[in-house]
Structure 1
Amino acid sequence: MLVTMALPPPASTAEIPAIAARQRMEKKSFTDAEITDGFFKTAFGAEYHLAGRVDRIRKYSTPVRVFADGRRADRKAQLAKVVSDIAARIRNLDIAMTESDDAANVRVKLVRDRDLYHTISQAYGSERAREIKTSLDPQCLSGFRKNEAFEIEHSDVILTVDNGDFVFLDCAYEELLQSLGPINDTSSVPWTMFNDNVSMGYFDVYDQYILNLLYDPRVKAGMTLTEVKAVLPDVLTDVRAWVKQTNNLAE
């Protein structure tokens, strides 16, 4: 017999008034059409991409190990709680922190805000850094490298550490989750953190639906939109049950 219980929000998020207020107001009931619309819009396409096709599913097919590169012990501790929360809420994803940079396939660079543009320039080159600044003007950033099978092999995340707890946690959740595959921001879906007009600071129910759909074993890296639509009804049924029990949702 499987015994389950709803998971509480991590202490690092529940103690922040701006996050607690958003959790009290959070919409948690969605139609199948609302969920699948957001999934298609975020899992396909890319807000900013450097090369390759973006009309296929992209995801990790291996365990994900996250390394924090930075000096702020408090931010590293918060990041570890974020990763633990993500691991608890995405059913078919093996994700955890690692103390070894060599063992990591997600590298999180923790930098001061004044060093953000320089760090982006180091990672992407000065010309592309200018393009990113002009088109996105980010407070934080993530990107990944995929193979020919559209399996993500490595992700890089850049987070600023000195813009307050809310900004740090909001960026940490959004960029870590986007580094797992749903990298296309969209302004047409009002409930997802993958909307530049939406700030959460925690792993909301709607985005739990998106990530659990993506990491269901029946949704495979390299699938087209048509292929995903063929399996999605059965996948969504199972994902609904998981998200419901994890968050103690009403019928």
Structure 2
Amino acid sequence: MVPLEDTPTRARIADSTLPPMKAFATPQPQAPSRSNANIAADFLALHFQLESGRKLQTFTRFETPITVRVTGKPPASLAPDLRRLLLRLRREAGIDIHEIDQGPANITIETVSRAEIRRTLPQAACFVVPNVSSFDEFRRDRRKPKTSWSALHERTRMGIFVPYDSTPQELRDCLHEELAQALGPLNDLYRLPDSVFNDDNVHTVLTGFDMLILRATYAQGLHSGMTEGQVAARLPAILSRLNPAGDRVAPRPVSLTPRAWIDAVQTALGPDVPLPARRGAAATATRIAQEQGWADQRLAFSYYLQGRILQLTDPDQAQTQFRAAEAVLNRSPDTQLHKALIITQTAAYAIARGQPQQALAQIDPMLPLARQSENAALLATLMMLKAEALDEAGDHRQAETLRLDSLGWARYGFGSDWAVRSKMREIAALNPGKANQG
């Protein structure tokens, strides 16, 4: 690995303050392209089942205008990101929701440390709980019926707990998913290609599909206390009104995700799971996906997991898995953001093998997708990779300009200066010419 200070274009950056953090401008959500019949099935699965698989008997939502308050020690990035999110919820989902500075709120967002969250829920980055307004209240009452989603009949008070010591992007992502779940869906579905309600974490801000689900949640004709059958009876008319284009799309068969595949994926992703067990779990997930006959992002995600686990010990075989994932994703326009994540791996491999033109051809189509999805970490990574490929191809001036431009996004996506510089060193080390200089 080439030390940061050994590269002239980086030495100036290392010795000075990094450029200011960048922020995304106008949201660009895409309307869902699926049939309203499929969206109705998704709506019911999102609202009437928990992530554990447990069924819910009652539809719940807020029945009054919603107030939101932030407590704790929020970092500077939280306020503008929250304001932007609340504006989107009002405009795109039609929800009457506003922030207040003091007094009791329907939804309280408390910032706590990542360590406190891990001690409470080891697998969670952030979470939402009904009928509490503080972390202390949650810890005191977490095993009481009041905090049980299955005992809920109407939403009146919610507590959201997010880490103040995470990156700006991670904090924003938590705001989007947890506030959306406080308002509506409680489940995550791996079958959804275009939603934050999916534990593959590909989409990090609320999508057009998500906003449609929330708009339907607060539509006239639905109210707290309804059964699944009652909601199902009213959904077709609601979706026809909110999403008329969906009535012109033919429905597709709904392919449920078996618990065995979900368990295998969670094991493969587990940070504390030994490598052989993670490798075996990823292979199991791929086998189950193939047996299910899937040709969607779930099969691609299985290949992707195998590739990520293999890349340190067998990079060539890892690339085989990444290429298999890419081939699956090429079949659907709804999964191009998933493909962008694969490209960060295949383009890095091309750079390491001295194939800059191949890397550039892969990276360029992915940059607009990363911007549109508001994924600063992905955008910065792609820009840094492109800069390295340009350096390798001999275009040093454009490489330096692009690399400097990536740093504002990197500060939002990766947080601290040391994390940004670490990412730069990691990507610089791919370039065999620079490695030989060291």
Q: Same fold (TM over 0.5)?
A: yes
Task: Give the counterpart of 1:40 among 27, 39, 44.
Answer: 44
Q: Which residue of 1 aligns with 2:128?
A: 142
SS at match of 1:233: helix
**Ranges in structure 1 where 5+ consecutive residues have no aligned partner:** 1-10, 119-128, 244-251
Cα distance in 2 for partners of 1:49, 1:110 equals: 29
Q: Which residue of 2 aligns with 1:111?
A: 112
Q: Which residue of 1 aligns with 2:323?
A: none
Q: Which residue of 2 aligns with 1:5?
A: none
Q: Deviations over 1:174-197 (max 9, x none)?
A: 100000121112223232211111
Structure 1 vs Structure 2 CA RMSD:
2.9
Tell me by how many angstroms 1:219 deviates.
1.2
Q: Higher relative CO (CA 8 A, sep ≥ 6), structure 1 or 2?
A: 1
Kept in 2, the 8 Å contact 1:44–1:54? The answer is yes
Q: Which residue of 1 aligns with 2:63?
A: 61
Cα distance in 2 for partners of 1:27, 1:242 equals: 9
Structure with bigger helix share is 2
SS at match of 2:157: strand
Kept in 2, the 8 Å contact 1:149–1:221? The answer is no
Tell me by how many angstroms 1:12 deviates.
4.2
Question: What are the equivalent positions in structure 2 for 1:151-230 lying under 5 Å apart?
Answer: 151-230=154-233
Kept in 1, the 8 Å contact 2:51–2:187? The answer is yes
**How has the CA–CA distance of structure 1 residues 112 and 49 changed in structure 2, closer, same or farther, with 3 Å as cutoff?**
farther
Cα distance in 1 for partners of 2:111, 2:161 equals: 6
Q: Deviations over 1:122-142 (max 9, x none)?
A: xxxxxxx3xx43xxx011111
SS at match of 1:210: helix
Tell me by how many angstroms 1:117 deviates.
3.1
Q: Deviations over 1:94-135 (max 9, x none)?
A: 101011142x110001123233235xxxxxxxxxx3xx43xx
Q: What residue identity is the alignment partner of 2:125?
A: Q
Kept in 1, the 8 Å contact 2:196–2:205? The answer is no
Query: What TM-score do the two structures reach when normalised by structure 2?
Result: 0.43
**How has the CA–CA distance of structure 1 residues 55 and 12 changed in structure 2, closer, same or farther, with 3 Å as cutoff?**
farther
Cα distance in 2 for partners of 1:220, 1:112 equals: 36
Cα distance in 2 for partners of 1:166, 1:203 equals: 13
**Ranges in structure 2 where 5+ consecutive residues have no aligned partner:** 1-21, 132-148, 247-438
**How has the CA–CA distance of structure 1 residues 68 and 228 changed in structure 2, closer, same or farther, with 3 Å as cutoff?**
same
Kept in 2, the 8 Å contact 1:170–1:200? The answer is no
Cα distance in 1 for partners of 2:243, 2:201 equals: 23
**How has the CA–CA distance of structure 1 residues 192 and 74 changed in structure 2, closer, same or farther, with 3 Å as cutoff?**
closer
Kept in 1, the 8 Å contact 2:129–2:158? The answer is yes
Cα distance in 1 for partners of 2:238, 2:40 equals: 11
Cα distance in 1 for partners of 2:192, 2:36 equals: 14
Query: What TM-score do the two structures reach when normalised by structure 1?
Result: 0.72
Q: Which residue of 1 aligns with 2:14?
A: none
Q: Which residue of 1 aligns with 2:264?
A: none
Cα distance in 2 for partners of 1:173, 1:191 equals: 14
Q: Which residue of 1 aligns with 2:400?
A: none
Question: What are the equivalent positions in structure 2 for 1:84-123 lying under 5 Å apart?
Answer: 84-91=87-94, 93-102=95-104, 104-118=105-119
Q: What residue identity is the alignment partner of 1:110?
A: T
Q: What residue identity is the alignment partner of 1:43?
A: H
Tell me by how many angstroms 1:242 deviates.
11
SS at match of 2:188: coil
Q: What residue identity is the alignment partner of 2:51?
A: E
Cα distance in 2 for partners of 1:157, 1:49 equals: 22
Aligned residues: 207
Q: Deviations over 1:130-159 (max 9, x none)?
A: xx43xxx01111122379882101111111
Name the larger-Rg structure.
2
Q: Are positions 1:73 and 2:104 aligned together?
A: no
**How has the CA–CA distance of structure 1 residues 96 and 49 changed in structure 2, closer, same or farther, with 3 Å as cutoff?**
farther
Cα distance in 2 for partners of 1:235, 1:216 equals: 7
Q: Which residue of 1 aligns with 2:85?
A: 82
Q: Deviations over 1:2-56 (max 9, x none)?
A: xxxxxxxxx94449xxxx9xx69x6731211221121111111222699xx7222
**How has the CA–CA distance of structure 1 residues 84 and 31 changed in structure 2, closer, same or farther, with 3 Å as cutoff?**
same
